[in-house]
Amino acid sequence: MGKKMVLAFALIIAALLVLAPLRVDADQPYMGGYLKRSVVTSNMVLVDVNYQETKASQIPDGKSLGGVASVAGGDGFTPSGWIYQNGVSLLHNNDVIWAPQAWEGDDEPEEYHQEWAGEADYVAFYERMDIGSSRVVYTLYAYSDFWHWDHDYPETHTWNHSTADNNFLVGRQSHSGNW
């Protein structure tokens, strides 16, 4: 991964750490990159992504700037090897694409979905993942303007698939020699 991409992800995570607790309850074990313990189990993950001040035209054509919630699947504290991601990407043309996905190990995503989700000038995007009852449910809340934000009236996108996992694992833990 290039230095610019690492810097972009670091800036997104820093923004999420600052902005996420303002709108949602920060008592959750995992919220927008905020981790209270080294490894926790959770049935829900929520991340806030905001592209409002980003100049999409500066993103090279064919590239994107992504905000993503990424967690491991497991049974209690035992990892399964499955990775679940809920991501939104800003493209050069100012479009935002939503692309939730899941895969096992180093394989290509086995579960994958993609759709248009809005534009960079939207007020905020909240990515949420829930796990339970043998399903992973991905939700994207897109707030197109401040009226929708103030009245909590988002455009909602949902997608789901089956899973054998019982919970998400969030944090840093060794699994098959990898962190």
Residue at 70 is within a domain: yes
pLDDT band at 23 (very low <50, low <70, confident <90, very high): very low
What per-residue confidence (pLDDT) applies to 6?
53
Residue at 61 is within a domain: yes
d(CA 105, CA 53): 36
Q: Six-digit token pair at 97?
A: 């694409």
- Total count of domains within the chain: 1
Determine which of 79-83, 110-114, 145-149, 164-168 has the lowest per-residue pLDDT on average: 110-114
Strand arrangement, sheet containing 155-162: 34-35, 30-31, 44-49, 124-132, 135-143, 155-162
Expressed as residue numbers, the domain containing 139 is 3-171
Kindly list the distances between the CA atom of residue 145 and the CA atoms of 58, 119, 121, 149, in Å, as whole numbers in the listed order.
23, 11, 8, 6
Residue at 148 is within a domain: yes
Q: Are 89 and 113 in contact (CB under 8 A)?
A: no
Q: Running DSSP on this structure, what letter comes out for residue 13?
A: H
d(CA 168, CA 86): 13
Q: Are 139 and 128 in contact (CB under 8 A)?
A: yes
Residue at 179 is within a domain: no
Determine which of 29-38, 50-59, 113-122, 169-178 has the lowest per-residue pLDDT on average: 29-38
Residue at 29 is within a domain: yes
Residue at 178 is within a domain: no
What per-residue confidence (pLDDT) applies to 161?
94
- 3-state DSSP assignment of residue 57: helix
pLDDT band at 24 (very low <50, low <70, confident <90, very high): very low
Residue at 48 is within a domain: yes
Residue at 177 is within a domain: no
What per-residue confidence (pLDDT) applies to 171?
72
Torsion of Cα atoms, 32 then 94 then 100 then 21, to 10°? 10
